[in-house]
Amino acid sequence: MKQITKLSLTFVCATAILLSSCNWWKEETLTVAISPYQDIAMIVNIRNLELEKKYNTQVDLQTMNWEDIVPAVASSGKTIDVGFGSLVEYLTKSNNINKDTEDPLLFIYPAYIYKGGGFISFNSDVPVINSSNLDKESIVASFLKNKIGAQKNSLYEMLLYSLAKKNNVDIKDMKIFDTPMNDGLLATQSGSLQISSAGLTQITEALKQNGRVVLTMEDLGFADVTGFICKKSVWDKKKKEIENLIKMWFECVDYVMTDIDKNSKFSLKYLGEKAATKYTLEQYKTALSQEYFPRTVDEANKEIVSDSGKFSYQRISNDVSDYLLTNKIVDKKPNIPQFIDLKMQ
């Protein structure tokens, strides 16, 4: 009888330990929303780098369309704990998303910067604006007096607003025409526009046709910041695990960027299975070249989080918020996110 009791007690203890272990994994697992784009795809290297073991945090990567990530994360962790989001989109929507709630959606930390866009011209009279003359009011005013093509409420129009604001030019006096980038390329070639917004495709084509790049996001230090978003309740509950996830991200980025030729195979495999665009290695490298990827937490803190950083999120957020308010896209100035205080060690 005592033997049976001992066996029963052993069984109960073993079961309790097993259940405790299962509950521990459940609490430690983060469900993370990602989209199959060349940049975010780097996070799949969590597996081959064995970072879950290193950080004692299990990550469940869930692929979904970009536009579905914010609604999924806004469900308070019912479907997704953490996702990637755009700072510009967050500032545009946060007033409505966080209205009358004690559990707001948070933009907690930056991941990378899209810096590849700019403006092109085929008109030799249009001055080139770069880091050497960004604060020369007369030169900037001469640039901004031209007919410029940029889609309404786009990042490119916001960039023009930022440039005008820095040089005391009233954006209401500017001649900005709501123009898709491909149409803008043709319009600048024909002369009906002097300047047009351009992505990598349009810039490449313009240069082939003896056009010029006359302003870039990188020179202005104005760009969209992609980073990590979650609900406050999820952050409060899973702070350590989310910090670990962000550290894993930077390790993945550093791994890929150290040797893209060698270390992009897992990202490319994921994109081959999930993405609409099928990348060759060279196409993948070209796409990544349009973005800025801090490779450590310290680098992100220096270049994005710091007020003096090249892509200071505070400066970008202020410019975007002023633009949104001036153009009556929002009825009150959005709250600028307060990033978490994160250190690698």
Q: Where are the domains of the chain?
A: 10-112+226-303, 118-220
In angstroms, rounded to a whole number, what is the distance separating the alpha carbons of residues 293 and 296? 9
Q: How does 318-335 read in b/e, with b if 16+ C-beta sit within 10 Å?
A: bbbbbbbeeeeebeeebe
φ/ψ of 249, rounded to 5, equals -55, -50
Say which CATH architecture domain 118-220 belongs to. Answer: 3-Layer(aba) Sandwich (3.40)
Positive or negative: CA dihedral 180, 182, 183, 186: positive
| Angle separating helix axes 281-288 and 265-274, nearest 10 degrees | 100
Pick the CATH number of 10-112+226-303 from 3.30.43.10, 1.20.1440.230, 3.40.50.300, 3.40.190.10: 3.40.190.10
In this chain, the answer to whether the domains covering 10-112+226-303 and 118-220 adopt an identical fold is: yes
Q: In what order do the strands lie in the sheet with 224-231?
A: 59-63, 30-34, 82-86, 224-231, 105-114, 291-292
> CA dihedral defined by 208, 213, 216, 219, rounded to 10 degrees?
120
| Angle separating helix axes 200-208 and 181-190, nearest 10 degrees | 20
Q: Where are the alpha helices (DSSP H) in 170-312?
A: 181-190, 200-208, 217-220, 232-258, 260-263, 265-274, 281-288, 297-300
CB-based contacts of 342: which residues, under 8 Å, 6+ apart? 109, 243, 246, 247, 297, 301
Residues 135 and 167 sit within 8 Å (Cβ to Cβ): yes
What are the percentages of helix, strand and coil residues in the chain, rounded to 5? 50, 15, 35
CB-based contacts of 259: which residues, under 8 Å, 6+ apart? none
Strand partners, 121: 212
Q: Where are the alpha helices (DSSP H) in the chain?
A: 2-28, 51-55, 66-73, 87-97, 137-144, 155-166, 181-190, 200-208, 217-220, 232-258, 260-263, 265-274, 281-288, 297-300, 313-326
In angstroms, rounded to a whole number, what is the distance separating the alpha carbons of residues 43 and 51? 11
- Token pair belonging to 235: 């952050």
Residues 270 and 36 sit within 8 Å (Cβ to Cβ): yes
CB half-sphere exposure, 109, CA atoms < 13 A: 24
In angstroms, rounded to a whole number, what is the distance separating the alpha carbons of residues 55 and 242? 11
Whole-Å CA distances, 262 to 45, 47, 283, 284: 13, 16, 15, 12
In angstroms, rounded to a whole number, what is the distance separating the alpha carbons of residues 70 and 94? 10
Whole-Å CA distances, 308 to 110, 235, 316: 15, 27, 12
pTM: 0.85
**Residues of the chain falling short of pLDDT 70:** 1-28, 76-77, 344-345
Write down the pLDDT at residue 13.
Answer: 41
In angstroms, rounded to a whole number, what is the distance separating the alpha carbons of residues 152 and 294? 30
Write down the pLDDT at residue 343.
Answer: 82
